[in-house]
Structure 1
Amino acid sequence: MSLRIGSSAPDFVAETTIGRIRFHDWIGQNWCVFFSHPKDFTPVCTTELGSMAKLKGDFERRGCKVIGLGIDPVSSHLAWSADIEEIAGAAPDYPIIGDGDLAVSKLYGMLPADEPVGNGPRTAHQNATVRTVFIIDPSKTVRLIIAYPMTCGRNFTEVLRALDSLQLNERHSLATPADWSRGEDVLLPFDWTDEEARAAYPEGWRAPKPYLRFVPQPR
Protein backbone atom coordinates (compact mmCIF):
# COMPACT_ATOMS: atom_id res chain seq x y z
CA MET A 1 0.00 0.00 0.00
CA SER A 2 1.38 3.38 -1.03
CA LEU A 3 0.30 6.22 1.25
CA ARG A 4 0.46 9.83 0.17
CA ILE A 5 -0.34 13.13 1.81
CA GLY A 6 -4.13 13.32 1.78
CA SER A 7 -4.60 9.54 2.05
CA SER A 8 -6.82 8.08 4.74
CA ALA A 9 -4.64 6.66 7.50
CA PRO A 10 -5.33 2.91 7.64
CA ASP A 11 -6.86 1.59 10.84
CA PHE A 12 -5.47 -1.46 12.61
CA VAL A 13 -5.46 -3.37 15.88
CA ALA A 14 -2.06 -3.94 17.50
CA GLU A 15 -0.32 -4.87 20.72
CA THR A 16 1.57 -1.97 22.28
CA THR A 17 3.46 -1.17 25.45
CA ILE A 18 0.18 0.06 26.97
CA GLY A 19 -1.87 -2.93 25.79
CA ARG A 20 -3.95 -3.67 22.71
CA ILE A 21 -5.31 -0.66 20.83
CA ARG A 22 -7.43 0.05 17.78
CA PHE A 23 -5.54 2.86 16.14
CA HIS A 24 -8.39 5.17 15.11
CA ASP A 25 -10.14 4.78 18.45
CA TRP A 26 -6.88 5.52 20.26
CA ILE A 27 -6.34 8.73 18.24
CA GLY A 28 -9.89 9.88 18.93
CA GLN A 29 -10.33 13.55 17.99
CA ASN A 30 -6.64 14.36 18.38
CA TRP A 31 -3.78 14.88 15.98
CA CYS A 32 -1.22 12.07 15.98
CA VAL A 33 2.49 11.66 15.30
CA PHE A 34 3.16 8.04 14.31
CA PHE A 35 6.84 7.21 13.94
CA SER A 36 8.68 3.94 13.46
CA HIS A 37 12.13 2.46 13.95
CA PRO A 38 13.76 -0.66 12.48
CA LYS A 39 15.25 -2.37 15.53
CA ASP A 40 15.41 -2.13 19.33
CA PHE A 41 18.77 -1.74 21.09
CA THR A 42 20.31 0.14 18.14
CA PRO A 43 22.27 3.39 18.53
CA VAL A 44 20.39 5.95 16.44
CA CYS A 45 16.95 4.74 17.55
CA THR A 46 17.93 4.83 21.21
CA THR A 47 18.65 8.55 20.95
CA GLU A 48 15.49 9.17 18.91
CA LEU A 49 13.02 7.54 21.27
CA GLY A 50 14.60 9.49 24.13
CA SER A 51 14.31 12.73 22.21
CA MET A 52 10.63 12.09 21.56
CA ALA A 53 10.10 11.22 25.23
CA LYS A 54 11.40 14.66 26.21
CA LEU A 55 9.17 16.42 23.66
CA LYS A 56 5.98 14.43 24.26
CA GLY A 57 4.52 17.14 26.49
CA ASP A 58 4.99 19.74 23.75
CA PHE A 59 3.02 17.58 21.33
CA GLU A 60 0.30 16.96 23.91
CA ARG A 61 -0.12 20.69 24.52
CA ARG A 62 -0.96 20.95 20.82
CA GLY A 63 -3.63 18.28 21.08
CA CYS A 64 -1.38 15.69 19.47
CA LYS A 65 -0.81 12.11 20.60
CA VAL A 66 2.48 10.27 20.01
CA ILE A 67 2.88 6.60 19.14
CA GLY A 68 5.89 4.60 18.01
CA LEU A 69 6.33 1.32 16.16
CA GLY A 70 9.10 -1.25 16.18
CA ILE A 71 9.56 -4.60 14.49
CA ASP A 72 10.51 -6.23 17.79
CA PRO A 73 7.92 -7.54 20.30
CA VAL A 74 6.44 -5.41 23.05
CA SER A 75 8.54 -7.22 25.67
CA SER A 76 11.69 -6.03 23.89
CA HIS A 77 10.42 -2.43 23.75
CA LEU A 78 9.79 -2.50 27.49
CA ALA A 79 13.23 -3.90 28.25
CA TRP A 80 14.89 -1.32 25.98
CA SER A 81 13.12 1.52 27.80
CA ALA A 82 15.63 1.40 30.67
CA ASP A 83 18.53 2.01 28.28
CA ILE A 84 16.68 4.90 26.65
CA GLU A 85 16.06 6.54 30.01
CA GLU A 86 19.70 6.08 31.02
CA ILE A 87 21.01 7.66 27.81
CA ALA A 88 18.41 10.38 27.21
CA GLY A 89 17.21 11.09 30.72
CA ALA A 90 13.63 10.25 29.78
CA ALA A 91 11.89 6.93 29.17
CA PRO A 92 9.23 6.56 26.49
CA ASP A 93 5.86 7.04 28.18
CA TYR A 94 4.00 6.90 24.87
CA PRO A 95 2.81 3.58 23.40
CA ILE A 96 5.13 1.62 21.11
CA ILE A 97 3.62 -0.97 18.79
CA GLY A 98 5.15 -4.44 18.62
CA ASP A 99 4.94 -5.29 14.90
CA GLY A 100 6.64 -8.69 14.80
CA ASP A 101 4.43 -9.94 11.97
CA LEU A 102 5.17 -6.74 9.96
CA ALA A 103 1.43 -6.21 9.45
CA VAL A 104 1.38 -2.49 10.30
CA SER A 105 4.72 -1.82 8.60
CA LYS A 106 3.35 -3.26 5.37
CA LEU A 107 -0.03 -1.56 5.79
CA TYR A 108 1.73 1.82 5.95
CA GLY A 109 4.11 1.07 3.06
CA MET A 110 7.25 0.89 5.21
CA LEU A 111 8.10 -2.58 3.87
CA PRO A 112 7.14 -4.35 0.63
CA ALA A 113 3.92 -6.32 0.90
CA ASP A 114 5.73 -9.55 -0.02
CA GLU A 115 8.53 -9.11 2.55
CA PRO A 116 8.77 -12.43 4.42
CA VAL A 117 8.53 -12.42 8.19
CA GLY A 118 10.91 -15.38 8.55
CA ASN A 119 11.50 -17.66 11.50
CA GLY A 120 14.69 -16.08 12.83
CA PRO A 121 15.39 -12.61 14.24
CA ARG A 122 15.37 -9.80 11.72
CA THR A 123 18.29 -7.41 11.43
CA ALA A 124 17.96 -3.63 11.32
CA HIS A 125 19.11 -3.68 7.68
CA GLN A 126 16.19 -5.92 6.72
CA ASN A 127 13.93 -3.20 8.09
CA ALA A 128 15.88 -0.23 6.73
CA THR A 129 12.81 1.43 5.21
CA VAL A 130 10.99 1.36 8.56
CA ARG A 131 12.23 4.88 9.32
CA THR A 132 9.18 7.01 8.76
CA VAL A 133 7.16 9.76 10.43
CA PHE A 134 3.47 10.37 9.77
CA ILE A 135 1.37 13.24 11.04
CA ILE A 136 -2.31 12.33 11.01
CA ASP A 137 -5.11 14.82 11.67
CA PRO A 138 -8.31 14.25 13.70
CA SER A 139 -10.19 13.19 10.55
CA LYS A 140 -7.61 10.36 10.19
CA THR A 141 -6.04 11.93 7.10
CA VAL A 142 -2.29 11.72 6.51
CA ARG A 143 -0.97 15.29 6.50
CA LEU A 144 2.81 14.72 6.46
CA ILE A 145 5.19 11.87 5.60
CA ILE A 146 8.96 11.95 6.16
CA ALA A 147 11.30 8.99 5.51
CA TYR A 148 14.89 8.85 6.76
CA PRO A 149 17.89 6.62 6.07
CA MET A 150 19.08 4.45 8.96
CA THR A 151 22.16 6.54 9.71
CA CYS A 152 20.38 9.89 10.02
CA GLY A 153 18.82 10.59 13.41
CA ARG A 154 15.52 12.39 13.17
CA ASN A 155 14.96 15.93 14.39
CA PHE A 156 11.72 15.75 16.37
CA THR A 157 11.80 19.50 16.98
CA GLU A 158 11.31 19.79 13.22
CA VAL A 159 8.32 17.43 13.44
CA LEU A 160 6.89 19.71 16.14
CA ARG A 161 7.50 22.75 13.92
CA ALA A 162 5.73 21.00 11.03
CA LEU A 163 2.77 20.24 13.30
CA ASP A 164 2.57 23.94 14.21
CA SER A 165 2.50 24.81 10.52
CA LEU A 166 -0.19 22.24 9.72
CA GLN A 167 -2.38 23.39 12.60
CA LEU A 168 -1.93 27.03 11.61
CA ASN A 169 -3.07 26.19 8.10
CA GLU A 170 -6.02 24.21 9.47
CA ARG A 171 -7.23 27.15 11.55
CA HIS A 172 -6.39 30.12 9.33
CA SER A 173 -5.65 28.80 5.78
CA LEU A 174 -2.19 30.36 6.01
CA ALA A 175 1.16 28.98 4.83
CA THR A 176 4.60 29.17 6.44
CA PRO A 177 7.90 30.15 4.81
CA ALA A 178 11.17 28.26 4.94
CA ASP A 179 12.72 27.93 8.40
CA TRP A 180 9.60 29.42 9.99
CA SER A 181 9.20 29.15 13.75
CA ARG A 182 6.11 29.70 15.85
CA GLY A 183 5.39 33.42 16.30
CA GLU A 184 7.09 34.57 13.09
CA ASP A 185 5.36 36.10 10.07
CA VAL A 186 3.36 33.77 7.85
CA LEU A 187 2.20 33.78 4.23
CA LEU A 188 -1.14 34.51 2.66
CA PRO A 189 -2.37 31.74 0.34
CA PHE A 190 -1.04 32.03 -3.19
CA ASP A 191 -4.51 31.63 -4.70
CA TRP A 192 -6.11 34.44 -2.70
CA THR A 193 -6.74 37.61 -4.67
CA ASP A 194 -5.77 40.90 -3.06
CA GLU A 195 -9.47 41.57 -2.55
CA GLU A 196 -9.92 38.28 -0.67
CA ALA A 197 -6.80 38.95 1.35
CA ARG A 198 -7.94 42.46 2.25
CA ALA A 199 -11.27 41.13 3.50
CA ALA A 200 -9.45 38.77 5.87
CA TYR A 201 -6.55 41.11 6.73
CA PRO A 202 -7.78 44.71 6.38
CA GLU A 203 -4.62 45.97 8.11
CA GLY A 204 -2.68 44.89 5.03
CA TRP A 205 0.48 42.88 4.48
CA ARG A 206 4.15 43.12 3.57
CA ALA A 207 4.78 42.13 -0.05
CA PRO A 208 8.38 42.09 -1.36
CA LYS A 209 6.85 40.47 -4.46
CA PRO A 210 3.19 40.55 -5.55
CA TYR A 211 2.91 36.80 -4.96
CA LEU A 212 4.83 36.88 -1.65
CA ARG A 213 2.56 38.41 1.00
CA PHE A 214 3.54 38.26 4.68
CA VAL A 215 1.25 38.88 7.65
CA PRO A 216 1.86 38.46 11.38
CA GLN A 217 0.95 35.05 12.72
CA PRO A 218 -2.54 35.17 14.25
CA ARG A 219 -2.51 34.85 18.00
Structure 2
Amino acid sequence: MSLRINDIAPDFTAETTDGPISFHDWIGDGWAIMFSHPKDFTPVCTTELGAAAGMAEEFAKRNCKLIGISVDTVEDHQKWKSDISAVTGNAVSYPMIADTDLKVAKLYDMLPAEVEGVSAGRTAADNQTVRTVFFVGPDKRIKMYMAYPMTTGRNFPELLRILDSMQLTLAHKVATPADWQPGDDVIITPAVSDEDATAKFGAFDKKLPYLRVTKQPA
Protein backbone atom coordinates (compact mmCIF):
# COMPACT_ATOMS: atom_id res chain seq x y z
CA MET A 1 0.00 0.00 0.00
CA SER A 2 1.31 3.43 -0.95
CA LEU A 3 0.34 6.31 1.36
CA ARG A 4 -0.24 9.84 0.17
CA ILE A 5 -1.13 13.19 1.70
CA ASN A 6 -4.81 13.27 2.78
CA ASP A 7 -5.03 9.47 3.02
CA ILE A 8 -6.42 8.19 6.31
CA ALA A 9 -3.45 7.31 8.52
CA PRO A 10 -3.65 3.54 9.05
CA ASP A 11 -4.81 2.69 12.55
CA PHE A 12 -2.95 0.10 14.62
CA THR A 13 -2.45 -1.20 18.13
CA ALA A 14 1.04 -1.46 19.54
CA GLU A 15 3.11 -1.76 22.69
CA THR A 16 4.94 1.40 23.70
CA THR A 17 7.10 2.65 26.53
CA ASP A 18 3.87 4.10 27.97
CA GLY A 19 1.90 0.87 27.59
CA PRO A 20 -0.39 -0.40 24.83
CA ILE A 21 -2.06 2.15 22.54
CA SER A 22 -4.57 2.24 19.71
CA PHE A 23 -3.13 4.90 17.43
CA HIS A 24 -6.29 6.80 16.44
CA ASP A 25 -7.59 6.77 20.01
CA TRP A 26 -4.20 7.95 21.27
CA ILE A 27 -4.21 10.90 18.85
CA GLY A 28 -7.61 12.03 20.10
CA ASP A 29 -8.88 15.34 18.74
CA GLY A 30 -5.47 16.93 18.18
CA TRP A 31 -2.44 16.51 15.95
CA ALA A 32 0.33 13.92 16.09
CA ILE A 33 3.82 13.59 14.70
CA MET A 34 5.17 10.04 14.37
CA PHE A 35 8.85 9.68 13.49
CA SER A 36 10.48 6.33 12.82
CA HIS A 37 13.90 4.85 13.49
CA PRO A 38 15.61 1.81 11.94
CA LYS A 39 17.22 0.56 15.16
CA ASP A 40 17.75 1.47 18.81
CA PHE A 41 21.19 2.65 19.99
CA THR A 42 22.03 4.30 16.66
CA PRO A 43 23.91 7.61 16.77
CA VAL A 44 21.83 9.94 14.59
CA CYS A 45 18.55 8.68 16.02
CA THR A 46 19.83 9.21 19.55
CA THR A 47 20.34 12.90 18.83
CA GLU A 48 16.94 13.16 17.11
CA LEU A 49 14.94 11.65 19.95
CA GLY A 50 16.69 14.04 22.35
CA ALA A 51 16.01 17.03 20.09
CA ALA A 52 12.33 16.09 19.91
CA ALA A 53 12.19 15.75 23.70
CA GLY A 54 13.69 19.22 24.06
CA MET A 55 10.93 20.67 21.86
CA ALA A 56 8.04 18.61 23.22
CA GLU A 57 6.51 21.61 25.02
CA GLU A 58 6.46 23.64 21.79
CA PHE A 59 4.58 20.87 20.00
CA ALA A 60 2.22 20.51 22.96
CA LYS A 61 1.38 24.24 22.77
CA ARG A 62 0.12 23.50 19.26
CA ASN A 63 -1.98 20.54 20.43
CA CYS A 64 0.42 18.10 18.77
CA LYS A 65 1.56 14.86 20.39
CA LEU A 66 4.93 13.23 19.72
CA ILE A 67 5.45 9.52 19.27
CA GLY A 68 8.60 7.68 18.21
CA ILE A 69 8.78 4.25 16.63
CA SER A 70 11.67 1.81 16.33
CA VAL A 71 11.73 -1.87 15.47
CA ASP A 72 13.21 -2.98 18.81
CA THR A 73 11.59 -3.98 22.10
CA VAL A 74 10.08 -1.82 24.84
CA GLU A 75 12.89 -2.97 27.12
CA ASP A 76 15.52 -1.76 24.66
CA HIS A 77 13.63 1.53 24.23
CA GLN A 78 13.69 2.11 27.99
CA LYS A 79 17.46 1.47 28.11
CA TRP A 80 17.98 3.74 25.10
CA LYS A 81 16.14 6.58 26.85
CA SER A 82 18.96 6.71 29.41
CA ASP A 83 21.55 7.19 26.66
CA ILE A 84 19.41 9.86 25.01
CA SER A 85 19.09 11.82 28.23
CA ALA A 86 22.80 11.50 29.01
CA VAL A 87 23.89 12.74 25.57
CA THR A 88 21.30 15.46 24.91
CA GLY A 89 20.22 16.50 28.40
CA ASN A 90 16.58 15.94 27.44
CA ALA A 91 14.42 13.21 28.97
CA VAL A 92 12.12 11.40 26.54
CA SER A 93 8.63 11.72 28.01
CA TYR A 94 6.65 10.84 24.89
CA PRO A 95 5.88 7.19 24.01
CA MET A 96 8.09 5.06 21.77
CA ILE A 97 6.44 2.27 19.79
CA ALA A 98 8.05 -1.18 19.86
CA ASP A 99 7.53 -2.45 16.30
CA THR A 100 9.21 -5.82 16.83
CA ASP A 101 7.02 -7.61 14.28
CA LEU A 102 7.61 -4.81 11.70
CA LYS A 103 3.83 -4.42 11.43
CA VAL A 104 3.71 -0.64 11.61
CA ALA A 105 6.74 -0.21 9.33
CA LYS A 106 4.96 -2.27 6.67
CA LEU A 107 1.57 -0.66 7.30
CA TYR A 108 3.11 2.77 6.66
CA ASP A 109 5.03 1.57 3.59
CA MET A 110 8.42 2.05 5.23
CA LEU A 111 9.32 -1.60 4.61
CA PRO A 112 8.03 -3.82 1.78
CA ALA A 113 5.05 -5.94 2.78
CA GLU A 114 6.88 -9.06 1.61
CA VAL A 115 9.67 -8.66 4.18
CA GLU A 116 9.54 -11.70 6.44
CA GLY A 117 10.46 -12.26 10.05
CA VAL A 118 10.77 -9.93 13.02
CA SER A 119 13.18 -7.23 14.14
CA ALA A 120 15.57 -9.60 15.92
CA GLY A 121 18.68 -10.14 13.82
CA ARG A 122 17.98 -7.23 11.49
CA THR A 123 20.49 -4.37 11.31
CA ALA A 124 19.90 -0.65 10.93
CA ALA A 125 21.00 -1.01 7.30
CA ASP A 126 18.29 -3.64 6.78
CA ASN A 127 15.75 -1.14 8.09
CA GLN A 128 17.22 2.03 6.63
CA THR A 129 13.92 3.04 5.00
CA VAL A 130 12.28 3.24 8.43
CA ARG A 131 13.27 6.91 8.59
CA THR A 132 10.01 8.77 7.92
CA VAL A 133 8.13 11.58 9.66
CA PHE A 134 4.34 11.54 9.48
CA PHE A 135 2.09 14.41 10.56
CA VAL A 136 -1.49 13.27 11.26
CA GLY A 137 -4.29 15.80 11.70
CA PRO A 138 -7.34 15.70 13.99
CA ASP A 139 -9.27 14.11 11.10
CA LYS A 140 -6.76 11.21 11.22
CA ARG A 141 -5.51 12.03 7.73
CA ILE A 142 -1.83 12.25 6.78
CA LYS A 143 -1.02 15.94 6.39
CA MET A 144 2.69 15.61 5.61
CA TYR A 145 5.35 12.94 5.38
CA MET A 146 9.07 13.19 4.81
CA ALA A 147 11.76 10.49 4.59
CA TYR A 148 15.35 11.06 5.69
CA PRO A 149 18.49 9.03 4.96
CA MET A 150 20.15 7.44 7.99
CA THR A 151 23.11 9.83 7.87
CA THR A 152 21.02 13.04 7.94
CA GLY A 153 19.51 14.12 11.23
CA ARG A 154 16.00 15.53 11.21
CA ASN A 155 15.44 19.26 11.67
CA PHE A 156 12.83 19.63 14.41
CA PRO A 157 12.59 23.44 14.24
CA GLU A 158 11.68 22.94 10.56
CA LEU A 159 9.06 20.36 11.51
CA LEU A 160 7.62 22.85 14.00
CA ARG A 161 7.54 25.48 11.23
CA ILE A 162 5.69 23.04 8.98
CA LEU A 163 3.15 22.41 11.73
CA ASP A 164 2.63 26.17 12.17
CA SER A 165 2.07 26.52 8.43
CA MET A 166 -0.37 23.60 8.22
CA GLN A 167 -2.42 24.79 11.17
CA LEU A 168 -2.53 28.36 9.85
CA THR A 169 -3.46 27.38 6.31
CA LEU A 170 -6.16 24.97 7.46
CA ALA A 171 -7.73 27.67 9.62
CA HIS A 172 -7.66 30.38 6.94
CA LYS A 173 -7.80 30.36 3.14
CA VAL A 174 -4.12 31.14 2.80
CA ALA A 175 -0.87 29.44 1.84
CA THR A 176 2.67 30.12 3.01
CA PRO A 177 5.44 31.09 0.55
CA ALA A 178 8.97 29.77 0.33
CA ASP A 179 11.03 30.27 3.50
CA TRP A 180 7.97 31.52 5.41
CA GLN A 181 8.33 31.99 9.16
CA PRO A 182 5.51 32.63 11.63
CA GLY A 183 4.50 36.28 11.40
CA ASP A 184 5.58 36.70 7.77
CA ASP A 185 3.15 37.65 5.03
CA VAL A 186 1.06 34.87 3.51
CA ILE A 187 -0.51 34.11 0.12
CA ILE A 188 -4.26 34.28 -0.48
CA THR A 189 -5.38 31.08 -2.19
CA PRO A 190 -6.80 31.28 -5.74
CA ALA A 191 -10.16 29.97 -4.51
CA VAL A 192 -10.79 33.36 -2.82
CA SER A 193 -12.01 36.16 -5.12
CA ASP A 194 -10.54 39.67 -4.86
CA GLU A 195 -13.82 40.88 -3.38
CA ASP A 196 -13.89 38.15 -0.76
CA ALA A 197 -10.18 38.66 -0.06
CA THR A 198 -10.80 42.34 0.72
CA ALA A 199 -13.68 41.44 3.00
CA LYS A 200 -11.69 38.71 4.75
CA PHE A 201 -8.20 40.16 4.93
CA GLY A 202 -8.52 43.86 4.17
CA ALA A 203 -5.70 45.26 2.09
CA PHE A 204 -3.54 42.92 0.03
CA ASP A 205 -0.74 43.25 -2.52
CA LYS A 206 -1.62 41.82 -5.94
CA LYS A 207 1.85 40.99 -7.22
CA LEU A 208 0.48 38.88 -10.10
CA PRO A 209 -3.08 38.01 -11.12
CA TYR A 210 -2.64 34.70 -9.28
CA LEU A 211 -0.27 35.86 -6.52
CA ARG A 212 -1.82 37.99 -3.79
CA VAL A 213 0.00 38.63 -0.55
CA THR A 214 -1.43 39.80 2.77
CA LYS A 215 -0.54 40.00 6.44
CA GLN A 216 -0.70 36.76 8.37
CA PRO A 217 -4.15 36.35 9.95
CA ALA A 218 -4.17 36.43 13.73
* TM > 0.5: yes
Q: Could you tell me which runs of 5 or more consecutive residues in structure 2 were left unpaired when the two chains were aligned.
A: none
User: 2:100–2:120: 8 Å Cα contact kept in structure 1?
Assistant: no
* Residues 172-217 of structure 1: CA deviation (Å, up to 9, x unaligned): 121001111111111100232212212212x211233232211111
> For 1:151, what is the secondary structure of its paired residue?
coil
User: 2:37–2:131: 8 Å Cα contact kept in structure 1?
Assistant: yes
Match of 1:217 in 2: 216
Match of 2:128 in 1: 128
Matched ranges for 1:58-77 at <5 A: 58-77=58-77
* Residues 136-186 of structure 1: CA deviation (Å, up to 9, x unaligned): 001101000101111111101111110101100111121001111111111
Q: Which amino acid aligns with 1:211?
A: Y
Matched ranges for 1:18-167 at <5 A: 18-118=18-118, 120-167=120-167
Answering whether residue 206 of structure 2 is matched by residue 207 of structure 1, we say: yes
Change in 2 beyond 3 A, CA 1:45/1:210: same
> For 2:6, what is the secondary structure of its paired residue?
coil
Q: Which amino acid aligns with 2:159?
A: V
Q: Could you tell me which runs of 5 or more consecutive residues in structure 1 were left unpaired when the two chains were aligned.
A: none
Q: How far apart, CA to CA, are the structure 2 residues paired with 1:20 and 1:86?
A: 26
**1:119 CA displacement:** 7.7
Match of 2:5 in 1: 5
Match of 1:170 in 2: 170
**1:120 CA displacement:** 4.3
User: 2:106–2:112: 8 Å Cα contact kept in structure 1?
Assistant: yes
Match of 1:186 in 2: 186
How many residues are paired up? Answer: 218
TM-score normalised according to structure 2 size: 0.97
Change in 2 beyond 3 A, CA 1:185/1:36: same
Change in 2 beyond 3 A, CA 1:28/1:181: same
Q: How far apart, CA to CA, are the structure 1 residues paired with 2:77 and 2:119?
A: 20
Structure 1 ranges of 4+ moved more than 4 A: none
> For 2:174, what is the secondary structure of its paired residue?
coil
> For 1:126, what is the secondary structure of its paired residue?
coil
Q: Which amino acid aligns with 1:164?
A: D
Q: Which amino acid aligns with 2:11?
A: D
**1:88 CA displacement:** 0.8
Q: How far apart, CA to CA, are the structure 1 residues paired with 2:75 and 2:123?
A: 17
* Residues 60-113 of structure 1: CA deviation (Å, up to 9, x unaligned): 000111101001111101101111011111021100000010001100111000
